[in-house]
Chain A
Amino acid sequence: MLKIILAVVGRDLKLAMRRQADIVSALFFFVIVVSLFPLGIGPEADLLRKLAPGVLWVAALLATMLSLPRLFADDHRDGTLEQLALAPHPLGLVVTGKVIAHWLVSGLPLALIAPVLGIQFDLSNDALLVLTGAILLGTPALSSIGAIGAALTLGLRGGGVLLSLLVLPLYIPVLIFGAGAVDATVSGLGGEGHLSLLAAMTLASLGFAPWASAAALKIALE
């Protein structure tokens, strides 16, 4: 079981390394969107500190959306996906591997760069730490829920826009608790409760979403 997942993760990472430009562009998209906000609303430190959690999280959601359409599209185009679906091992495990790989190239970089952007918003060290932790804990849920949307919209016209229409409403709980964790730290309440709920959501979605995506992929491949 673990072997299948690891094999898929390794393969997808290798493929992703050939397209490093994509990873870097998504990351820069995140940086640019976040940096636009102070320009749009003014440089008052108090205001920025209050807005930072929401802005960073919404930008993280959007940056994750960017790479989702590619999650299955390339494998679909060259026929790999059909072979994987016909293979004896369950498709859900393959999707789990792909989700993990997607998170490693999209969610993890976001978490690593988020504290730097947090400094722009005058966040305290504690808040920066919680922000990194929250994005680290929350983005796997984004990748796995997003995989369902990517599988449902596989091969459709206007798939990217449709994908965000389907997936963004489902991201709301992650957004609320992710931004809430940082918010609670900023206001001195402590974000541990939020973080543990975020972790619970990530675990639940990692457990369920790959199987839902596998079902969606089978529907799309029929």
Chain B
Amino acid sequence: MTDRFNLYKYAAPATFYPLAGKLIPWFAAASVIFGLAGLYLGMLVAPTDFQQGEGYRIIFIHVPASWMSMFIYLVMAFWAAIGLAFNTRLSGMMAQALAPTGALMAFLSLWTGALWGKPMWGAWWVWDARLTSELILLFLYIGYMALTAAIDDPRRADKAGGLLLLVGVVNVPIIYFSVKWWNTLHQGSTVNLTKSSMATTMLYGMLLMALCFWMYSIAVAFMRVRTIMLERERHTDWVKAELEGDAR
């Protein structure tokens, strides 16, 4: 125990639990501030897009959600690699805490993509390369969550889930390019979700929204990882102290 304490001081749940608790309000506040600023720029100030009309405003949440869904998967794979290489306890918990948020982001990306597609393409769903890849990403999230939920032993769940994430992350580019190739062979969608020259206000609005989504994801993942930590470490002294301190 002592060697781990020195080496992975901040990775130790006993240290990370209170740290995450202190950080959550800050990330949540940052998310709200970025979100309000992004919405102000995107919804109130930014001019209309001459090609897509006001419907383009959906991209202010569609693009951040898509980015986050991919980014969270990469972060999970990063934690998985750390966890498998150094056998740290925190990494598996982080990956599991991030997964539901990543899946929700993938869902949001699909939902907003469909609502964008209906007026632009005339259909709720088009087998566009990006939407299709996003759907497959959602499947990967669901597979990961199903696997970790099916394994009772948390150590095995972490490692098996981590291995699946690494296999997934190797496959994601292959899947993406094969879907893209399949798409160009079969039709090739005409209107792109995010092309066209964006005005700077639009760009700033979108970047602010992306920051909002990022901060939100961190805040929720920290909240979730704290619950997972309590559950997993319930026999340790620090959890008992934490719970007793809470009661007072």
Contacts and interface: CB of A to CB of B under 8 A. Distances in A.
The answer on A and B forming one complex is yes
A176 B163 contact: no
A219 B163 contact: yes
B146 A169 contact: no
Interface residues of B, number: 27
B146 A172 contact: no
A158 B147 CA distance: 10
Contacts, number: 68
A45 interface: no
A17 interface: no
Contacts of A180: 182, 185
A177 B202 CA distance: 39
Interface string A20-33: 00000000000000
Interface residues of A, number: 26
Chain B CB within 10 A, most for which of A168, A172, A180 = A172
Overall SS of chain B's interface: helix
A172 B150 contact: no
Nearest to A216: B163
Contact of A220 (B156, B167, B171): B156
Given A153-B147, A165-B146, A172 B175 contact: yes
Interface string A148-180: 100011001111001001101110110011001
Contacts of B170: 208
Nearest to B144: A166
Contacts of A157: 150
Given A166-B147, A219-B159, A172 B142 contact: no
14 contacts: A148-B164, A152-B160, A153-B147, A153-B150, A159-B150, A169-B140, A169-B175, A170-B175, A172-B178, A173-B174, A180-B182, A180-B185, A212-B167, A220-B156
Interface of A: 148, 152-153, 156-159, 162, 165-166, 168-170, 172-173, 176-177, 180, 201, 208, 212, 215-216, 219-220, 222
Nearest 9 CB-CB pairings of A with B? A173-B178, A169-B139, A219-B159, A166-B143, A176-B178, A176-B182, A156-B150, A165-B143, A152-B160
Given A156-B150, A220-B156, 20 more contacts: A148-B164, A148-B167, A152-B147, A152-B164, A153-B147, A165-B143, A165-B147, A166-B147, A170-B168, A172-B179, A173-B174, A173-B178, A176-B181, A180-B182, A180-B185, A216-B160, A216-B163, A219-B156, A222-B155, A222-B156
